[in-house]
Amino acid sequence: MGKPIIGITLNIENEEKHSFADDYVSSVYEAGGLPFGLPVGLDVDAEQIADTISGLVLTGGGDVDPTLFGEEPHRKLGTVTPRRDSFELALTQSMLIRDKPILAICRGCQILNVAIGGDIYQDIYSQIDGELLQHSQLAVRSHASHYVTVRENSLLAYVTGHTKFMVNSFHHQAVRIVPKPFIISAHASDSVIEAIESTEHLFVLGLQWHPEALAAGGDTISKRIFSAFIEACLG
């Protein structure tokens, strides 16, 4: 059996340059997958792409357009990329219909939640009451800066073998309302949602942190996440 083909969504800068961090590629490849970059603008071909790839990694990046979940822009909203949103939503929905594995990271976790009919905070510091942790850490990407508590008997708990561990953090948006059949599978000590997952699909997991950066730094838990994802992609 050959390696599973893993589609990795690309960021687009100023509508002219595609990019993504090498950590996504190395984490997928070292776990046994064959990584392929997916540029924006392929909406009409989303179903064919979903038929072709074995699994999908929704990567991090800029903010999600709030009009996609019925809101107007908050004053703290950052840069949005509507063409990227459109493609990733179409592809995510196509993958969900086919019950193919999805690993959604940071912005990807937010896109996943919007794709299933949920919404997000446009800016957690303005829209959540109370004192919050530093969710946009100033340390290097491979540094784990705060704890997450994982729901017992969840996919995330099974994959990692832990119900509490440390993660890195680079976001000011976060998942808010999570519709069924998805559940919240991890949160930070300030109650910000850190992971969601499907209870009706083989492997659909959204993480608010960046396991690819931690895996590149040698983190065992992050490597387990990618290994479990690739194993699911093998069917």
Structural domain spans, the chain: 5-233
Q: Which of 175, 208, 213, 197 is nearest to 26 (CA)?
A: 213
Instruction: Give the residue from 158, 140, 136 showing the smallest Cα distance to 205.
Output: 158
* Per-residue pLDDT reduced to its tens digit, 181-192: 999 999 999 999
Given a cut of 50, the residues of the chain with pLDDT beneath it are none
Q: What are the pLDDT digits (tens) for 69-109? A: 999 999 999 999 999 999 999 999 999 999 999 999 999 99
Residue 205, CB-side half-sphere exposure with 13 Å CA sphere:
26
Q: What is the pLDDT of residue 15?
A: 72
Give me the helix-helix angle, 107-115 and 82-97, nearest 10°. 60
5-233 has which fold?
Answer: Rossmann fold (3.40.50)
Which tokens in the block code for residue 213?
């950066």
Sort 22 into a burial class: Cβ within 10 Å, 0-12 / 13-18 / 19+: exposed
